[in-house]
Amino acid sequence: MLIHRIAAQLYTAEALQTVEAGLDSGEDVTLAVSQSGRTLMAAAQFARRPRPTVYIVSGEDAADRAARSLAAYVGLAHVCRFPERKDYPWREQAPDDAVVAQRCEALGRIVRGDNCIMVASARALLRCVPPVESRYWESTTFAVGEEIPFDEVPQRLVGMGYTNAGAADAPGLFRVHGDTVEVFPAQEKAPVRIEFFGDEIDRIRRMVSSTGQTIGNEDSIEIFPCRELALTDEAVHNMHVALYRASQDDSKLAALLEMVDARIVTPELDRFLPVMYGQTVSPLAHVNGKALVVLSEPRSLFDDCLRAYEDIEARAGEAGIDRLDGLYVRAQQLDFGAQQRLNYVSLIRAGGAVTAELKIEQPAIAGSDNRFMTRVQEVVGKRYACVFAIPDRGARESMELTFGDEGITFEESLTAAPENAGAIGDRVRVAAADSADRAARQEAHASIRERRADALNARSLEAGAAQAAAGAAVPTISRGRVTFVDAALPQGVVVPDANLAVFSIADLNARMDANRARSRRKVDITQITFPFKPGDYVVHATHGIALFSEIARQEVGGKERDYFLLEYADGDKLYVPLEQVDRITRYVGPDGDKPRLTRLNTADWTRATNKARKNAKKLAFDLVDLYTRRSSIAGVACPPDTPEQIEMEESFPYDETRDQLEAIADIKADMEAPKPMDRLLCGDVGFGKTEVALRAAFKCVDSGRQVMVLCPTTILAQQHYETFFERFAPFGLEVEVLSRFRTPAQQKRALKAFAEGTIDVLIGTHRLLSADVNPKNLGMVIIDEEQRFGVQHKEQLKNLREQIDVLTLSATPIPRTMQMATSGVRDMSLITTPPTGRRPVIVHVGEYDPDVVSAAIRLEVGRGGQVYYVSNRVKTIDDAVARVHEAAPEARVGVAHGKMSPREVEDVMIEFATKKIDVLIATTIVESGIDNATANTLIIEDSQRLGLAQLYQLKGRVGRSATQAYAYFMFPGELPLTEEATARLTALSEFQDLGSGMRIAMRDLEIRGAGSLMGAEQHGNLSSVGFDLFTQMLGQAVAEARGDDDAGVEAASVGINLPADYFLSEEYLPAVDQRVLVYRKLAAAEDLESIDEVQEETEAAHGELPLAGLNLFNRARIRIRGERLGLESVTLSGGRITFLGVDVPKKVAFEFKTRYGAVNFPKSRKLSVPYKAGAGAGSGLGRGLDANDGTGPVAAALMLLQQLGASDDD
């Protein structure tokens, strides 16, 4: 098999030879190796010495991944899963029959001594099982031709926990019908029909569970128990001794004893396990001493078990169970002493007890074709044994042709025998990749397809191991060339010490583009503000505060173009050209009141702006002082990404959006710089901010420092804890949480461990800012929703920023934070791209209507979904429950609020997450941290009482999947709404698009007034010039304070005087504010790619641009190309297009003269090109551009600039 050949090469590494020597001598050994290589190490060890093996990891998801990876190497037949049971013995809840059968099958194979790898999470081993002598895990096999009393078959099935039902349509059920028994084996995917002739099994057939049809014959069927107990004679006797007297007064116990007498195994018996057997054991007690136990991060496994047991203990206490003895084992009781141990630990955690260390590299072939080829040539050039696993023949043949063209030597594997899929060939044909003649290479490629069977493919895993043990040479992988194999490996790995490279086609599909740019991106103001519309107050940077009246179309020189019509004091009007839209901003004042209009042709505006600029400079120096102090502090620069970092990132189960990748690149660049990071990450709820934070936290811990994650609510802290723990545990990182869900003893233990440095990530609420939280080596603080913290806490956070890396996450950031980010004082990244398939939430705002509530709940529950019902007053929440019961009596209802105990809240949340509750009635306690993809309807009563940002956060609880979500914001019809409440609810209706969080924050600023949020010292500035213009002034002042060379110097604008129509018509784009937004984006664009994106968005929504609209976009392209050339102006006059301020190389000038009859004036830096009707006719020298050929002056000028090579984007 392929694994034998890989293992033969792998064990040339000294570290693995040391490990093997230790295992051969019977010792326990510890190998320090990164997570990505562990399943390969375990598979290679198993292939060299097949024996019962138990592979234990942290978490069920990690166990599933490990099982898939191991199966890819050693085959499915040699891997089994021992899953965790999610039911509790004291609850009247039937266990998952398939899970129990899987556990019985896996443990049974290990106990019998089968050569297989049982994969389990540490938590799965805490549940007690009957003692070894019970052999509860034994299966029953029925074979064709076997004689067995027909009446005995149902008895056997009942004894294994199966239920005699009307149909065998679910695992664990069977049916007796005439002379047939239909049974659904708990470990199978479909039922079987066992047909008898008397007491002889005549035929066994597979069935289709939905129809009952039979689809094929089987020689035999093995059936595993679906209960983890066996009713032996001794167990039955013990039950009677213990319970008989009590059963005389308890009808339920009496009925239970009757079923025990009849050997009927029921779920209720689980809690009597200690009674039945006197002593119960951990599943590990069944594993014999010849087995090998592989532990991935032993310390993390122990901590995981500690946490799991504490959780179980708490749940048992709530159920009135005061002792768990005999039902669960403590972490300290998990004994591996009877078996040999192979420990895998992280290189980060490697210490003195490590037997050997093995460095692993990532394949690093994702990204560009050049990166891929360079990496392959590197390993081939180093004469590595290189395997490339590509199961798709077409893809493999395409790769062979590419390698041949690139001169990469390779060989083709032989087709795997069906019983050994994944094995590679022995006899190969080497491609003549170094042939100079392409025809010879093509012929060589054709010859490669002549495949022969490999003798090794016919051998089993055990036979291959026996051959190696006997000293026979195992065919190795050719070195210095690529060997293609028919195998599907989950990922590749490179082991330099073994001169081995294993590549997988999956590596090529890696989502992270390692070549992404790390340049700092400027925040686009159009992403966080919104366009103005008629009736809005605006600020013109030169002329002052006005009222925006309309977009007016004016005819100039026979051509039409749009202007912004602004109305000033005393009825004065100003027509502002479209290209000056970037000088107009929406007015946001300190109090939300109407501003005083500026008088034109007076010094009023000049005085106001001069005073504001002076204040902006003063504030800028204060802000830059903080920035300078931070820059002067020698921070700790993180090293580049390690293999563990890359592997952790690749465990993300979704595709990252472009914005996520850019934010990750920004943050990593900050962290690798030698100064403290202070970055704001803004993104809508559900847009992936947490994933970005996870990667930043891992990078910090990977560099040897600790991380604190600060959350505004207990529920959000718990949600983050579960997410971080699940992702980090496989890498040996320790994660803890401080919240009211933790007992004082647990919190004390966590604080002690954090101070000692054994906890890497500590998550919590403002409790983390207490004096008793003393990290050993804190490197980063991640703040989620900073605006939710109080003044005192913000002051503490401000002090932290001068010392360590700080990453702030927000969906609706406070205006001061945005001001600092947009002015350049604070670094900012935006995530505005929604995840694939996400739909905007449909919003309904209106008076409370019981019929609407009833219809909304029934619609959601009817499609299998769930509902959030928010009633934000604890005193009246019972009334809300009554209203919901009246609206939808059939709905299952749960309640959660802050007055409940932490455990009560957690239980309700778990029931909601597991779909045992249809409608969760809660206060705003659910505002943050609840991530439930099946909850897609939100109903808020008394919504007028909540703030806009709070309402928007609540809206983010739904719509977190591809399912259409609905949000109902209701208010009492009998009460008049305040002006502010009306504005808030109107904003929710207005901003329904995905990614509106930043604009919601700005609208909230406008409704409440910026003064209350920005501080009294800025009140006058905001009143006189508005929030946006003052922020721009602040940005310029910050640049000057930093000493930027171009500070305060406006970029020279290109004068464009080309007679043409420039506008977007009302018929093409009716909404004025949307036209304004397009105009603003064009004016703000700094590169051609941005203009192309705006055009694509516009045409996708409204169709192909008319000529006047296309002129508008091409005019913006001329501006950008002209700015890069240093162009002063471009003008059409007297039948000539004249470019002023351009240096034309002699060669280009000659070409233009020959082609167009252009005249170049080098001294005056002027180029003049004829453009008139019939200009291109005739022969000889070029006569110019013909205005009759349909090319307008704008398109003609743009074409000429393109030929001048004006843009780096070409």
pLDDT digits (tens, 9 = 90+) for 624-680: 666 666 566 667 888 888 878 887 887 787 778 888 888 999 999 889 888 888 888
Instruction: Give a yes or no: residue 590 inside a domain.
Output: no
737 pLDDT more than 90: yes
pLDDT of residue 116: 94
**Which pLDDT belongs to residue 278?**
82
The residues, ordered by sequence, that sit 6+ positions from 42 with a Cβ below 8 Å of its Cβ are 53, 55, 70, 117, 294, 342
> Cα 939 to chain center, whole Å?
27
| Predicted confidence (pLDDT) per residue in 835-891, tens digit | 766 788 888 988 999 999 999 999 999 888 999 999 988 888 999 999 999 999 999
User: Alpha-carbon distance 704 to 239, whole Å?
Assistant: 55
- Residue 262 maps to a domain: no
| pLDDT, mean over the chain | 81
| pLDDT for position 1191 | 77
- CA-CA distance, 813 to 523, in Å (whole number)? 14
Q: What is the predicted pLDDT for the residue at 1015?
A: 47
Do 85 and 217 share a domain, yes or no?
no
Q: Which residues pair with 205 in a beta bridge?
A: 193, 217
Amino acid 235: pLDDT: 86
> Could you give the CA distance from residue 800 to residue 796 in angstroms, rounded to a whole number?
6
CATH number at 156 reads: 3.30.2060.10
Report, as an integer, the average pLDDT of 786-795: 64
Q: CA angle 391-360-509, nearest 5°?
A: 35
Query: Quick check: is 539 in a domain?
Result: no
- Look at residue 488 and tell me whether its pLDDT is greater than 50: yes
**What pLDDT digit, counting tens, does each position of 878-931 carry?**
999 999 999 999 999 999 988 888 778 878 887 888 888 999 999 988 876 567
Domain end residue (candidates: 336, 358, 380): 358
- Whether residue 277 lies inside any domain: the answer is no
φ and ψ of 540, to 5 deg: -95, 130
Q: What pLDDT score does 700 carry?
A: 95
Higher pLDDT residue, 762 or 927?
762
Rounded to an integer, the average pLDDT of 706-725 is 89
Check which CATH number belongs to the domain holding 1192 and give it. 3.90.1150.50
For residue 1183, what pLDDT is reported?
Answer: 67
Structure tokens at 792: 């005192």
Residue 269 domain-assigned? no
Q: What is the pLDDT of residues 512-549, one digit of tens each?
A: 333 333 333 444 444 445 567 788 889 998 899 999 99
Domain hosting 384: range is 369-508
- In this prediction the pTM is 0.55
**pLDDT over 70 for what percent of the chain?**
82
pLDDT value of position 44: 94
The answer to the question of residue 418 being in a domain is yes
* Among 538, 909, 548, CA closest to 714: 909
Is beta strand 735-738 parallel, antiparallel or unpaired with respect to 761-764?
parallel
Q: Which of 440, 473, 508 is the last residue of a domain?
A: 508
pLDDT class of 1072 with cuts at 50, 70, 90: confident
**Backbone φ and ψ of 682, nearest 5°:** -105, 135
Residues 670 and 716 in one domain: yes
Nearest to 821 by CA among 617, 590, 523: 523
pLDDT, tens only, 408-453: 888 876 433 333 333 322 322 233 333 334 444 344 334 333 333 3
| Average pLDDT rounded to a whole number, residues 194-214 | 87
Query: What is the per-residue pLDDT for 464?
Result: 59
Distance CA(376)–CA(431), nearest Å, equals 16
Residues 399 and 469 in one domain: yes
Chosen domain end from 358, 383, 400? 358
CA–CA gap between residue 690 and residue 720 (Å, rounded): 8
Contacts of 592 (CB under 8 A, 6+ apart): 980, 1006, 1007, 1008, 1009
Please, what sign has the CA dihedral across residues 595, 597, 598, 604? negative
pLDDT at 211: 72
d(CA 562, CA 1078): 13
Residue for token pair 């398109």: 1195
Is 1038 a member of any domain?
no
pLDDT of residue 438: 40
- How many Å apart are CA 761 and CA 68, to the nearest integer? 29
Pick 840 or 185 by higher pLDDT: 185
Clarify whether residues 808 and 905 are in a common domain.
Answer: no
Binned at pLDDT 50, 70 and 90, residue 770 comes out as confident
Same domain flag for 193 and 155 = yes
Q: What domain count does the chain have?
A: 6
Q: Are 328 and 271 in contact (CB under 8 A)?
A: no
* Neighbour tally for 1167: CB within 10 Å: 26
- Considering the domain architecture, whether residues 812 and 939 belong to the same structural domain is answered as no
Q: How many CA atoms lie within 13 A of 621 on its CB side?
A: 5
Buried b (16+ CB within 10 A) or exposed e, 963-1000: bebbbbbbbeeeeeeeeebebbbebbebbeebbbbbbb
Average pLDDT over residues 946-963: 82
Q: What is the CATH number of the domain that holds 9?
A: 3.40.50.300
Tell whether 432 and 497 lie within a shared domain.
yes
Report the candidate in 475, 478, 507 with the shortest Cα–Cα distance to residue 494.
507
Determine contact, residues 736/743, Cβ cutoff 8 Å. Answer: no
- To which residue do tokens 């009302």 refer? 1066
192/143 Cα distance (integer angstroms): 12
Tell me the C-alpha distance between 1047 and 1030, whole Å.
16
- The residue with greater pLDDT, 871 or 189, is 871
- Whether the CB-CB separation of 997 and 812 falls below 8 Å is answered with yes
Residues 1199 and 1079 in one domain: yes
What sign for the dihedral angle of Cα 458, 462, 467, 468?
positive
The residue that leads in pLDDT, 490 or 768, is 768
998 in any annotated domain: no
Within 8 A by CB and 6+ apart from 611, the residues are 1020, 1021, 1024
Residues 333 and 462 in one domain: no
Structure-model confidence comparison of residues 63 and 232, the more confident one:
63
User: Would you state the structure tokens that stand for residue 38, as one six-digit string?
Assistant: 């562990």
What integer pLDDT is reported at residue 992 of this predicted model?
Answer: 58
Lowest mean pLDDT among 181-195, 1037-1051, 1067-1081: 1037-1051
Q: Which amino acid is at 795?
A: E
Are 1081 and 1196 in the same domain? yes
Whether the Cβ atoms of residue 843 and residue 988 lie closer than 8 Å to each other: yes
CA torsion sign for 184, 189, 190, 195 is: negative
Which one-letter amino acid corresponds to residue 796? Q
Task: Output the CA angle 636-722-704, nearest 5 degrees.
Answer: 20
Mean pLDDT of all residues in 229-253: 85
Sign of torsion over alpha carbons 414, 418, 422, 426: negative
Q: Are 490 and 37 in contact (CB under 8 A)?
A: no
Query: Do 767 and 847 share a structural domain?
Result: no
Same domain (yes/no): 444, 324? no
Round to whole Å and give the CA distance between 253 and 718.
40
For the record, the structure tokens of 828 come out as 């900012």
- 787 vs 583 pLDDT, higher one: 583
pLDDT-above-90 percentage for the chain: 27
Write the CB contacts of 793 (distance below 8 Å, at least 6 apart in sequence): 766, 769
pLDDT tier for residue 1106 given thresholds of 50, 70 and 90: very high
pLDDT of residue 641: 83
Residues 334, 335, 340, CA angle at the centre, nearest 5°? Answer: 130
| Residue 45 confidence (pLDDT) | 94
